[in-house]
Amino acid sequence: SKVWVLKKHFEGFPKTSDFELKKIELPNLKDGELLLESVFLSVDPYMRPYSRKDMKEGDIMIGTQVARIVESKNPAFTVGTFVVAGSGWRTHFISDGKGLQLLPSSWPESLPKSLALGTVGMPGLTAYFGLLEVCKVKIGDTVLVNAAAGAVGSVVGQLAKIGGCKVVGSAGSDDKVAYLKKIGFDEAFNYKTVKSLDEALRKASPDGYDCFFDNVGGEFTSIAINQMKKYGRIAICGGISQYNDTVPQKGPYVQIPMLFKELLMEGFIVTRWNNRWEEGQKALLKWVVEGKLKYHEHVTEGFENMPMAFIGMLKGENLGKAIVKV
Protein backbone atom coordinates (compact mmCIF):
# COMPACT_ATOMS: atom_id res chain seq x y z
CA SER A 1 0.00 0.00 0.00
CA LYS A 2 1.10 3.57 -0.63
CA VAL A 3 0.44 5.96 2.24
CA TRP A 4 0.95 9.66 2.89
CA VAL A 5 2.50 10.45 6.25
CA LEU A 6 2.55 13.75 8.14
CA LYS A 7 6.31 14.22 8.19
CA LYS A 8 6.31 17.56 9.96
CA HIS A 9 3.51 19.39 11.77
CA PHE A 10 2.23 22.26 9.65
CA GLU A 11 3.51 25.68 10.56
CA GLY A 12 1.25 28.26 8.97
CA PHE A 13 0.18 27.20 5.50
CA PRO A 14 0.90 23.47 4.78
CA LYS A 15 3.76 22.76 2.35
CA THR A 16 4.34 19.67 0.20
CA SER A 17 7.57 19.03 2.16
CA ASP A 18 5.45 18.48 5.31
CA PHE A 19 4.26 15.19 3.78
CA GLU A 20 6.07 11.99 2.88
CA LEU A 21 4.92 9.22 0.53
CA LYS A 22 5.74 5.75 1.88
CA LYS A 23 5.14 2.16 0.87
CA ILE A 24 4.00 -0.36 3.43
CA GLU A 25 3.52 -4.12 3.12
CA LEU A 26 0.10 -5.41 4.07
CA PRO A 27 -0.14 -8.78 5.83
CA ASN A 28 -2.35 -11.62 4.55
CA LEU A 29 -6.01 -11.39 5.49
CA LYS A 30 -7.23 -13.10 8.63
CA ASP A 31 -10.75 -14.47 9.00
CA GLY A 32 -13.25 -11.61 9.30
CA GLU A 33 -11.03 -9.17 7.43
CA LEU A 34 -11.26 -7.37 4.08
CA LEU A 35 -8.79 -5.82 1.71
CA LEU A 36 -9.92 -2.48 0.32
CA GLU A 37 -8.62 -0.29 -2.47
CA SER A 38 -9.25 3.48 -2.37
CA VAL A 39 -10.95 4.79 -5.48
CA PHE A 40 -11.66 8.38 -4.39
CA LEU A 41 -10.11 10.18 -1.42
CA SER A 42 -11.36 13.33 0.23
CA VAL A 43 -9.25 16.35 1.12
CA ASP A 44 -11.04 18.48 3.71
CA PRO A 45 -10.35 21.67 5.67
CA TYR A 46 -10.67 19.86 9.04
CA MET A 47 -7.46 17.96 8.31
CA ARG A 48 -5.55 21.19 8.95
CA PRO A 49 -6.73 21.84 12.57
CA TYR A 50 -7.18 18.13 13.42
CA SER A 51 -3.63 17.25 12.32
CA ARG A 52 -2.38 19.39 15.19
CA LYS A 53 -4.99 18.11 17.64
CA ASP A 54 -5.05 14.39 16.87
CA MET A 55 -1.84 13.45 15.04
CA LYS A 56 1.87 13.02 15.70
CA GLU A 57 4.62 13.43 13.17
CA GLY A 58 5.01 10.11 11.35
CA ASP A 59 1.29 9.26 11.49
CA ILE A 60 -0.63 8.48 8.32
CA MET A 61 -2.76 11.49 7.31
CA ILE A 62 -6.34 11.27 8.54
CA GLY A 63 -9.15 11.15 6.00
CA THR A 64 -12.04 9.44 4.32
CA GLN A 65 -12.29 7.53 1.06
CA VAL A 66 -14.66 5.64 -1.18
CA ALA A 67 -13.07 2.22 -1.48
CA ARG A 68 -13.77 -1.00 -3.33
CA ILE A 69 -13.57 -4.34 -1.60
CA VAL A 70 -10.98 -6.40 -3.48
CA GLU A 71 -10.73 -9.40 -1.18
CA SER A 72 -13.02 -10.57 1.59
CA LYS A 73 -12.80 -13.06 4.42
CA ASN A 74 -15.85 -11.48 6.02
CA PRO A 75 -19.21 -12.94 4.97
CA ALA A 76 -20.97 -9.60 5.57
CA PHE A 77 -19.01 -7.93 2.74
CA THR A 78 -18.87 -8.99 -0.91
CA VAL A 79 -15.94 -8.37 -3.25
CA GLY A 80 -16.70 -5.51 -5.65
CA THR A 81 -18.86 -3.56 -3.17
CA PHE A 82 -18.08 0.12 -2.61
CA VAL A 83 -17.96 1.57 0.90
CA VAL A 84 -17.06 4.82 2.62
CA ALA A 85 -14.20 4.33 5.07
CA GLY A 86 -12.22 6.62 7.32
CA SER A 87 -8.85 4.98 6.81
CA GLY A 88 -6.64 7.95 6.00
CA TRP A 89 -4.49 8.69 3.00
CA ARG A 90 -3.79 5.12 1.81
CA THR A 91 -4.24 3.34 -1.50
CA HIS A 92 -4.98 -0.04 0.15
CA PHE A 93 -5.93 -1.07 3.65
CA ILE A 94 -7.25 -3.94 5.69
CA SER A 95 -10.44 -3.62 7.73
CA ASP A 96 -12.46 -5.86 9.99
CA GLY A 97 -15.61 -4.22 8.59
CA LYS A 98 -16.30 -2.03 11.63
CA GLY A 99 -17.20 1.55 10.74
CA LEU A 100 -17.46 0.89 7.01
CA GLN A 101 -20.52 2.49 5.44
CA LEU A 102 -22.22 1.01 2.44
CA LEU A 103 -23.54 3.48 -0.11
CA PRO A 104 -27.35 3.79 0.14
CA SER A 105 -29.04 0.98 -1.82
CA SER A 106 -30.92 3.59 -3.88
CA TRP A 107 -27.61 4.97 -5.27
CA PRO A 108 -28.08 5.18 -9.07
CA GLU A 109 -25.38 3.57 -11.24
CA SER A 110 -25.03 6.83 -13.21
CA LEU A 111 -24.12 8.91 -10.15
CA PRO A 112 -20.41 9.33 -9.30
CA LYS A 113 -19.58 7.39 -6.14
CA SER A 114 -17.30 10.25 -5.09
CA LEU A 115 -20.46 12.19 -4.15
CA ALA A 116 -20.50 10.03 -1.02
CA LEU A 117 -17.56 12.20 0.12
CA GLY A 118 -19.24 15.49 -0.83
CA THR A 119 -22.79 16.51 -1.64
CA VAL A 120 -24.23 13.17 -0.44
CA GLY A 121 -21.63 12.68 2.28
CA MET A 122 -20.20 14.42 5.31
CA PRO A 123 -20.10 17.95 3.79
CA GLY A 124 -23.68 17.67 2.48
CA LEU A 125 -24.84 16.42 5.87
CA THR A 126 -23.05 19.32 7.53
CA ALA A 127 -25.14 21.68 5.41
CA TYR A 128 -28.31 19.69 6.07
CA PHE A 129 -28.07 19.48 9.86
CA GLY A 130 -26.48 22.91 10.27
CA LEU A 131 -29.35 24.59 8.43
CA LEU A 132 -32.11 22.49 9.89
CA GLU A 133 -30.99 22.10 13.49
CA VAL A 134 -28.71 25.06 14.16
CA CYS A 135 -29.95 27.85 11.86
CA LYS A 136 -33.50 26.52 12.16
CA VAL A 137 -34.34 28.05 8.78
CA LYS A 138 -37.93 28.75 7.86
CA ILE A 139 -39.69 29.90 4.70
CA GLY A 140 -38.96 33.53 3.91
CA ASP A 141 -35.68 33.74 5.86
CA THR A 142 -32.69 35.44 4.29
CA VAL A 143 -29.68 33.17 4.62
CA LEU A 144 -26.04 34.21 4.26
CA VAL A 145 -23.31 31.62 3.60
CA ASN A 146 -19.59 32.15 2.96
CA ALA A 147 -17.15 29.80 1.20
CA ALA A 148 -20.40 29.34 -0.71
CA ALA A 149 -18.94 27.62 -3.78
CA GLY A 150 -17.32 24.90 -1.71
CA ALA A 151 -18.51 21.46 -0.68
CA VAL A 152 -20.58 22.56 2.32
CA GLY A 153 -21.50 26.09 1.17
CA SER A 154 -22.91 25.09 -2.22
CA VAL A 155 -25.26 22.62 -0.50
CA VAL A 156 -26.24 25.15 2.19
CA GLY A 157 -27.38 27.65 -0.45
CA GLN A 158 -29.33 25.13 -2.49
CA LEU A 159 -31.04 23.53 0.51
CA ALA A 160 -32.02 26.97 1.77
CA LYS A 161 -33.58 27.67 -1.66
CA ILE A 162 -35.44 24.34 -1.53
CA GLY A 163 -36.69 25.48 1.88
CA GLY A 164 -38.09 28.74 0.50
CA CYS A 165 -35.39 31.18 1.65
CA LYS A 166 -33.58 34.02 -0.02
CA VAL A 167 -29.88 33.10 -0.30
CA VAL A 168 -26.78 35.27 -0.41
CA GLY A 169 -23.33 33.71 -0.92
CA SER A 170 -19.76 34.92 -1.04
CA ALA A 171 -16.81 33.21 -2.72
CA GLY A 172 -13.26 33.96 -3.77
CA SER A 173 -13.42 34.21 -7.58
CA ASP A 174 -15.71 35.55 -10.32
CA ASP A 175 -16.08 32.04 -11.77
CA LYS A 176 -17.33 30.82 -8.41
CA VAL A 177 -19.77 33.73 -8.21
CA ALA A 178 -21.10 32.91 -11.69
CA TYR A 179 -21.54 29.28 -10.59
CA LEU A 180 -23.50 30.34 -7.50
CA LYS A 181 -25.92 32.36 -9.64
CA LYS A 182 -26.26 29.37 -11.98
CA ILE A 183 -27.27 27.04 -9.15
CA GLY A 184 -29.91 29.45 -7.86
CA PHE A 185 -28.32 31.79 -5.29
CA ASP A 186 -30.28 35.05 -5.32
CA GLU A 187 -27.19 37.16 -4.71
CA ALA A 188 -23.50 36.32 -4.82
CA PHE A 189 -20.30 38.35 -4.68
CA ASN A 190 -16.53 37.92 -4.75
CA TYR A 191 -15.30 38.80 -1.25
CA LYS A 192 -11.76 39.29 -2.57
CA THR A 193 -12.64 42.07 -5.01
CA VAL A 194 -15.49 43.97 -3.31
CA LYS A 195 -14.39 47.36 -2.02
CA SER A 196 -16.17 46.88 1.27
CA LEU A 197 -17.55 43.63 2.64
CA ASP A 198 -19.96 45.62 4.78
CA GLU A 199 -21.38 47.37 1.71
CA ALA A 200 -21.57 44.16 -0.33
CA LEU A 201 -23.58 42.45 2.42
CA ARG A 202 -25.87 45.47 2.77
CA LYS A 203 -26.44 45.66 -0.98
CA ALA A 204 -27.23 41.94 -1.25
CA SER A 205 -29.84 42.18 1.51
CA PRO A 206 -30.65 45.73 2.69
CA ASP A 207 -32.94 44.31 5.41
CA GLY A 208 -30.18 42.13 6.89
CA TYR A 209 -29.97 38.39 7.54
CA ASP A 210 -32.02 35.93 9.57
CA CYS A 211 -29.45 33.15 9.30
CA PHE A 212 -25.72 33.16 8.80
CA PHE A 213 -24.01 29.84 8.05
CA ASP A 214 -20.38 30.68 8.81
CA ASN A 215 -17.64 28.60 7.19
CA VAL A 216 -14.95 31.26 7.36
CA GLY A 217 -14.78 33.03 10.74
CA GLY A 218 -12.44 35.93 11.53
CA GLU A 219 -13.06 39.35 10.05
CA PHE A 220 -15.93 38.15 7.86
CA THR A 221 -17.88 37.07 10.93
CA SER A 222 -17.28 40.31 12.79
CA ILE A 223 -18.62 42.30 9.85
CA ALA A 224 -21.56 40.01 9.07
CA ILE A 225 -22.77 39.93 12.65
CA ASN A 226 -23.61 43.62 12.47
CA GLN A 227 -26.04 42.94 9.67
CA MET A 228 -28.01 40.22 11.38
CA LYS A 229 -31.70 40.86 11.96
CA LYS A 230 -33.06 40.76 15.47
CA TYR A 231 -33.29 37.16 16.80
CA GLY A 232 -30.99 36.03 13.97
CA ARG A 233 -29.28 32.63 14.16
CA ILE A 234 -25.62 32.04 13.40
CA ALA A 235 -24.26 28.55 12.80
CA ILE A 236 -20.51 28.42 13.35
CA CYS A 237 -19.53 25.61 11.02
CA GLY A 238 -15.92 26.44 10.24
CA GLY A 239 -13.20 29.03 10.55
CA ILE A 240 -11.05 28.40 7.51
CA SER A 241 -9.73 31.98 7.49
CA GLN A 242 -7.97 31.15 10.76
CA TYR A 243 -6.80 27.54 10.34
CA ASN A 244 -3.36 28.53 9.05
CA ASP A 245 -2.69 31.35 11.50
CA THR A 246 0.50 31.08 13.51
CA VAL A 247 -0.58 33.98 15.74
CA PRO A 248 -4.26 34.13 16.73
CA GLN A 249 -6.14 37.05 15.17
CA LYS A 250 -7.35 39.79 17.50
CA GLY A 251 -10.90 41.33 17.78
CA PRO A 252 -13.12 43.21 16.92
CA TYR A 253 -15.32 41.39 19.38
CA VAL A 254 -18.83 40.26 18.69
CA GLN A 255 -20.62 40.60 22.03
CA ILE A 256 -22.38 43.94 21.49
CA PRO A 257 -24.44 43.01 18.42
CA MET A 258 -25.08 39.58 19.97
CA LEU A 259 -26.60 41.31 22.97
CA PHE A 260 -28.70 44.06 21.47
CA LYS A 261 -29.98 41.97 18.59
CA GLU A 262 -30.57 38.96 20.86
CA LEU A 263 -28.77 36.67 18.43
CA LEU A 264 -28.24 32.97 18.81
CA MET A 265 -24.81 31.69 17.81
CA GLU A 266 -23.92 28.03 18.02
CA GLY A 267 -20.89 26.05 17.00
CA PHE A 268 -21.51 22.51 15.79
CA ILE A 269 -19.74 19.42 14.50
CA VAL A 270 -21.71 17.29 12.08
CA THR A 271 -21.03 14.06 14.01
CA ARG A 272 -23.55 15.31 16.61
CA TRP A 273 -26.19 13.81 14.28
CA ASN A 274 -24.42 10.52 13.57
CA ASN A 275 -27.62 8.69 14.49
CA ARG A 276 -29.52 10.56 11.74
CA TRP A 277 -26.92 10.04 8.98
CA GLU A 278 -29.21 7.77 6.98
CA GLU A 279 -32.10 10.24 7.05
CA GLY A 280 -29.86 13.07 5.83
CA GLN A 281 -28.13 11.00 3.19
CA LYS A 282 -31.43 9.75 1.79
CA ALA A 283 -32.80 13.28 1.56
CA LEU A 284 -29.66 14.61 -0.16
CA LEU A 285 -29.54 11.70 -2.58
CA LYS A 286 -33.20 12.19 -3.49
CA TRP A 287 -32.67 15.89 -4.25
CA VAL A 288 -29.60 15.10 -6.35
CA VAL A 289 -31.47 12.45 -8.34
CA GLU A 290 -34.41 14.84 -8.84
CA GLY A 291 -32.01 17.49 -10.14
CA LYS A 292 -32.90 19.92 -7.34
CA LEU A 293 -29.46 19.73 -5.78
CA LYS A 294 -26.65 20.34 -8.26
CA TYR A 295 -23.09 19.30 -7.59
CA HIS A 296 -19.67 20.13 -8.90
CA GLU A 297 -16.46 18.29 -8.07
CA HIS A 298 -12.89 19.45 -8.32
CA VAL A 299 -11.09 16.22 -9.13
CA THR A 300 -7.30 15.85 -8.90
CA GLU A 301 -5.95 12.72 -10.57
CA GLY A 302 -3.36 10.57 -8.83
CA PHE A 303 -2.73 9.50 -5.25
CA GLU A 304 0.74 11.08 -5.45
CA ASN A 305 -0.98 14.48 -5.81
CA MET A 306 -2.86 14.34 -2.48
CA PRO A 307 -0.79 17.03 -0.71
CA MET A 308 -1.13 19.33 -3.71
CA ALA A 309 -4.90 18.77 -3.79
CA PHE A 310 -5.15 19.47 -0.04
CA ILE A 311 -3.08 22.67 -0.25
CA GLY A 312 -4.98 23.76 -3.39
CA MET A 313 -8.29 23.36 -1.56
CA LEU A 314 -7.05 25.48 1.37
CA LYS A 315 -6.05 28.13 -1.17
CA GLY A 316 -9.50 28.10 -2.79
CA GLU A 317 -8.62 26.38 -6.08
CA ASN A 318 -11.66 24.10 -5.79
CA LEU A 319 -15.15 24.73 -7.14
CA GLY A 320 -17.36 22.30 -5.23
CA LYS A 321 -15.92 19.31 -3.41
CA ALA A 322 -12.18 18.67 -3.67
CA ILE A 323 -11.64 14.99 -4.49
CA VAL A 324 -8.61 12.90 -5.39
CA LYS A 325 -9.09 10.06 -7.88
CA VAL A 326 -6.50 7.36 -7.39
- For residue 10, the minimal CB distance to ligand NDP (Å) is 14
- For residue 59, the minimal CB distance to ligand NDP (Å) is 20
Minimum CB distance to ligand NDP smaller for 28 or for 275: 275
What distance in Å separates the CA atoms of residue 197 and residue 223, rounded to the nearest whole number?
7
- For residue 238, the minimal CB distance to ligand NDP (Å) is 2
- For residue 295, the minimal CB distance to ligand NDP (Å) is 12
Minimum CB distance to ligand NDP smaller for 46 or for 82: 46
- Residues interacting with ligand NDP, by CB under 6 A? 44-46, 123, 126, 147, 149-153, 171-173, 176, 215-216, 237-241, 268-270, 313-314, 316, 318, 321-322
Minimum CB distance to ligand NDP smaller for 2 or for 276: 276
Minimum CB distance to ligand NDP smaller for 74 or for 215: 215
Question: What's the sign of the alpha-carbon dihedral 47, 279, 78, 108?
Answer: negative
Whole-number Cα distances in Å, 300 to 57, 233, 323, 325, 326: 25, 36, 6, 6, 9
- For residue 117, the minimal CB distance to ligand NDP (Å) is 10
- For residue 314, the minimal CB distance to ligand NDP (Å) is 6
What distance in Å separates the CA atoms of residue 310 and residue 41, rounded to the nearest whole number?
11
Question: Alpha carbon 75 to chain centroid distance?
Answer: 33
What distance in Å separates the CA atoms of residue 201 and residue 189, rounded to the nearest whole number?
9
Q: Is the peptide bond before 123 cis (omega within 30 degrees of 0)?
A: no
Q: HSE on the CB side for 199, CA within 13 Å? A: 4
Minimum CB distance to ligand NDP smaller for 18 or for 214: 214
Judged by phi (left if over 0) then psi (alpha if -120 to 50, else beta), residue 197 lies in alpha
- For residue 264, the minimal CB distance to ligand NDP (Å) is 17
Minimum CB distance to ligand NDP smaller for 30 or for 315: 315
